[in-house]
Structures are given as structure tokens and as C-alpha cells.
Amino acid sequence: MTKIYVLDTNVLLHSPNALYAFSEHTVVIPEVVIEELDRFKKESSERGANSRTVSRVIDELRLQGNLLTGVKLNDAGGILRLESNHTNVEMPLHWELDKADNRILQICKGLMEEQCYTVLVSRDTNMRVKAAILKIQAEDFRNDKVAVIEQQYTGRETVYTSSEVINRFHRDDTTCLDPGQLSMYDHSANIMVPAKLFPNQFLLIRSVEHDKHTAVGRYDGNRVVHLRYRNRNPFGVTPRNVGQIFMQECLMMGAEEAPLVIIKGPAGTAKTFYSLAVGLYKYMELRPREYHHLLICRPNAMLDEGLGYLPGTEAEKLEPYMRSIKDNLFTLMSANDLENDKDIIRAEETVSMLFEKGIVQTEALAYQRGRSLQKYWVIFDEMQNSTPRQAKAVLTRSGQGTKIILLGDPAQIDNPLLDSQSNGLSYASEKMCGSKLCYQVTMLPEECERSPLAGEAAMRL
């Protein structure tokens, strides 16, 4: 049965190519959606860019025929139609029809009264609730959504084998393990099953005879190999738990072997801290330098939309959003060994020097479009507040010798248009799962090292 999908404005603002996501079905755009798109087109934010993209796509389709009667979307038989009818359809008396949402719902109701199988597609939960009041079928736009947090790829796994196998693995660094010797626990069936591993997945290997008899390794796509950097201390930092050992391993790898690292996890697990420590080590201590620049970007809805209205230079505009970066740099430069005011001042001056001399650079995420980054160590922090389109944009900026690190916590979303399944960090993580160029680690709440209170809050709240 052919369905009619009525698209809300927020779907098109989030994903400009949503028009093509409905196969052989009919896509209806109410005329009020065109008006809303026009209202956003002058914005310099990603929302403005998406609005302009959608407008161009619809204009190109307009050349094929009459949009009011429908034009062809694809070879599968999909149709795009603009809808300006159903103005006399009865709505609840207290619902104001000059509001765009209510006008969209009125069109959906009118189509239903014509016996059309109608589905409203909206990313607005309140809009879907109002649709339910009118008995209109409503759905979220799921085309770019990934699995729920609990089912997302973590980049790590706990596997089991015999103590004899672990002892053999420990004998020397050249010994490798056959993945066929490993098993994993299936929580749904409550049984042990053969281990199913992904390339570049980190492993905590436990003995089936003695739970505390363990080893750590990495599956390279063929066999389980030793970690090469677990005993290093980049910029004086020592890993304190298994998650940080895995994190240090993929950060220390060269850009040719590991050009992309994705680290997810709750606050206080040292994601930003470790990324800065290894970056500074590679730039300041290692010779010859692996990277010519250290760049830090943070997506933020307010930053991207209101950046141009703040006074000062680009660095001054970004400064309020980079305070967490400075906090981590201060800790790195002080080594937590501050005995008097002079030590504190010296550490603060060192941090300021890193920015003044351009050793550490900061930029707005919006300014990365069109760039080609060569020999950069790039940290994209708080990427859970980016969209899938932004994540794709930053990953395609990578040039030769550049290493990109995506950091964030999918459980802490500040962007009102995103959730744990539709943000850029989760999207990139799921889509890059299995790539030999991507290494991932998800930190656990119990691996919080910020403070006992931070760790307790991460697990309880």
C-alpha cells in the first residue's frame, strides 16, 4: 500500500535529503513548511545551510512539473507534492491555526478524511503527542538514527579463555591468540558463546578458572595481538584503569595506522585530558614531530548560531567555550603538584603561552567546512552535540598525516534537536564500526577518575 508521509519542518532542517528516504511512497510538504524554511535560510548556522539546501532541491524538482499535483522523486515511484488544501478541516476550537504545527496537523487530518494512509514524520515529541490526540499516525525520522546507547558499539569486549592460553599469551610480546580460543558471555541467553569480534576491538581477556587472571589485547582482524603502548607515560600521564589503557593505545598509534579515534563515555573518565596529554607529547616531546598543529573544536548550538555577535577576535569569542580545555591543560602543566601561589601562577602562564604561541589552537566547528587538514592533531570535543552531517563534514577534512579524535558522552545531549541515537558522535561510531582506520573505546562509569564524588554521580545519576 502506498503511504503519504507528511514532513515537519524540523525533519528537513535536520536532514536535507530526507525527501529521498521514503522509497516508493508519496512525500507531502505543507505550504507552511516552505514558509518556515524561508524564515531560517538567512541564518549562518547549519540550520540555515540545511534550509537553503532543501530549498534548492525543491526548486530543482519544480522544473520537472507541477509541485501541487506531484513530481517524480525516484525510479521506485516516489512522488513529492506540496499541499495547500484542507483549510476547512475542523480542528479543536482552542488550537490556533495560524501556528505552523497546527496547520501541518490540519493537513494530515484532511488527508486522512480522504481515506489516504497518512503518516506524520516529525522530530518534535510534542508534535507527535498532538498528532495522537487527532488519531494521526506519527513517527520520528529514523533514517539517520542508530541503536540505543546500550546496543551501540563500544570498541571493547570482555572475553574468556583458559589460564593456560593466557599464560602463553603473557610469555612474550610476539605471541598472538587465535580468536577461536575465546568465548564471550551472552547475557540474553545466559550462556557462553564463541566470541564475535570486530577489527581493532580491544579485549579484556579473563580466565574461566580464575576471574582475576587477566590479559589485555587487541583484535587486528585476524588475531589477538599485544598492546604496544600500555607501559608508556605520555606527558607524564599513567593509565589508571583498563579503559585508559585502551584509550592510550589508540591515541599513541600513528596517523597512518589509526587516523580516527572515537572515545565515548561519562564525564570524568579523562577523555579530553588524555587526548590533550598525548597530543602535547607528540608535539612537544617527540622528535621528529608527528604533527605540526594541535587543533581543538567544540560543537555548540549557541556557539555556531551566535558566534558572530560576540565582541573580539575569533579566539576571544571562543574562549568561554574552551574553559574545560584550559582546566585540563592546567592540570597537565601543574602535574597536581602545586605547593604555593607561585606554582599556580606559573602553571596558568604556561597554559596561556600554549595559546599565545599557537601551540594549541581553537576554532569553531562551523569554520571547518572546506578545509583540508595536513599533519594536524585534531580534537573534536563534545561531539554528542553535533549532527550526523557535521560529523561527516569534520571527518572528511582529514588530510595526509592528520589524526582526528572524536570525544563525547551520548547520554548528555545539550542540543534540543538531537538525542542519544541521532547525534553525530553515535552516528559516526556506528557507521565506522569495523573500519580498519577507526579505533573506538567507550569508557565505563566505574572508570571515572575525576574524584570519588564524580565517579559516584556518574554511576548513580
Average pLDDT (88-108) is 94
**pLDDT value at position 301?**
45
The predicted model gives 406-434 an average pLDDT of 92
The whole-number pLDDT of residue 449 equals: 83
Q: What pLDDT is recorded for position 303?
A: 38
Residue 123 near residue 14 (C-beta atoms within 8 A): yes
User: Given this model, what pLDDT does residue 304 score?
Assistant: 45
Task: Check pLDDT > 60 for residue 378.
Answer: yes
Distances (CA, A) of 106 to 1, 28, 132, 227: 23, 13, 13, 60
Percent of the chain with pLDDT over 90: 69
Query: What is the arithmetic mean of pLDDT over 422-429?
Result: 95
How many CA atoms lie within 13 Å of 298's alpha carbon, on the beta-carbon side?
A: 22
The arithmetic mean of pLDDT across residues 384-410, rounded, is: 92
**CA gap 329, 296 in Å, rounded:** 12
At 337 the pLDDT is 64
CA-based nearest residue to 442, from 198, 214, 213 = 198
**d(Cα 434, Cα 8) in Å, to the nearest integer?**
34
Domains and CATH numbers, the chain: 4-139 (3.40.50.1010), 147-226 (no CATH), 239-460 (3.40.50.300)
**pLDDT at res. 162:** 96
The model's confidence at residue 278, banded by pLDDT at 50, 70 and 90, is very high
What strands lie across the sheet with 191-194, from one edge to the other?
A: 191-194, 183-186, 156-161, 201-207, 214-219, 224-225
Angle at 168 (CA atoms; ends 238, 447), nearest 5 degrees? 30
Mean pLDDT within 89-115: 95
187-200, pLDDT tens digit by residue? 888 899 999 999 99
Q: What is the CA radius of gyration of the chain?
A: 26
d(CA 444, CA 461): 14
Counting residues of the chain whose pLDDT is more than 70, the rounded percentage is 94
Q: Which residue has the higher pLDDT, 309 or 301?
A: 309
Residue 310: predicted pLDDT: 58
The confidence band for 108, taking pLDDT boundaries of 50, 70 and 90, is very high
pLDDT class of 302 with cuts at 50, 70, 90 = very low
Residues 6+ apart with CB under 8 A from 308: 44
Cα–Cα dist 359/373, whole Å: 16
Those residues with Cβ within 8 angstroms of residue 179's Cβ, 6 or more apart along the chain or in another chain: 195, 197, 219, 223, 224
| Residue 331 confidence class, pLDDT cut points 50, 70, 90 | confident
The predicted structure's pLDDT at residue 38: 95
Buried b (16+ CB within 10 A) or exposed e, 320-340: ebbeebbebbebbbbeeeeee
Confidence band of 335 (pLDDT split at 50, 70, 90): low
Lowest mean pLDDT across 131-145, 165-179, 290-304, 423-437: 290-304
Structure pTM? Answer: 0.84
Q: Is the pLDDT of residue 309 over 90?
A: no
Cell reading at 243:
579503559
Residues 23-50: pLDDT tens digits?
A: 899 999 999 999 999 999 988 778 898 9
Instruction: Decide if 366 contacts 50 (C-beta within 8 A).
Output: no
pLDDT of residue 244: 97
Pair 332, 351: CB distance under 8 Å: no
Asked if pLDDT for residue 173 goes beyond 50, the answer is: yes
Sheet bearing 293-298, strands edge to edge: 360-364, 293-298, 376-380, 403-408, 260-264, 438-442
Task: Provide the 10 A C-beta neighbour count for residue 146.
Answer: 22
- What type of residue is 179? P
Q: Are strands 137-139 and 214-219 parallel, antiparallel or unpaired?
A: unpaired
**pLDDT value at residue 389:** 86
CA 171 to CA 169: how far, in whole Å? 6
Cα separation, 11 vs 100, in Å, equals: 14
Q: What is the pLDDT of residue 336?
A: 61
Q: What is the pLDDT of residues 196-230, one digit of tens each?
A: 999 999 999 999 999 899 999 999 999 999 999 99
**Most confident of the ranges 234-248, 304-318, 360-374:** 234-248
If you average pLDDT over every residue of the chain, what do you get? 90
Dihedral angle of Cα 252, 254, 257, 259, to the nearest 10 degrees = 90
Q: Residues near 363 by Cβ (< 8 Å), separated by ≥ 6?
A: 295, 296, 297, 314, 318
Which distant-in-sequence residues (6+ apart) come within 8 Å of 408 by Cβ? 264, 271, 381, 382, 383, 384, 385, 423, 425
- Burial class of 154 by CB neighbour count within 10 A (0 to 12, 13 to 18, 19+): buried
Mean pLDDT, range 90-95, rounded to an integer: 93
In this predicted structure, the answer to whether residue 412 has a pLDDT above a threshold of 50 is: yes
Q: Inter-axis angle of helices 424-431 and 388-395, to 10 degrees?
A: 60
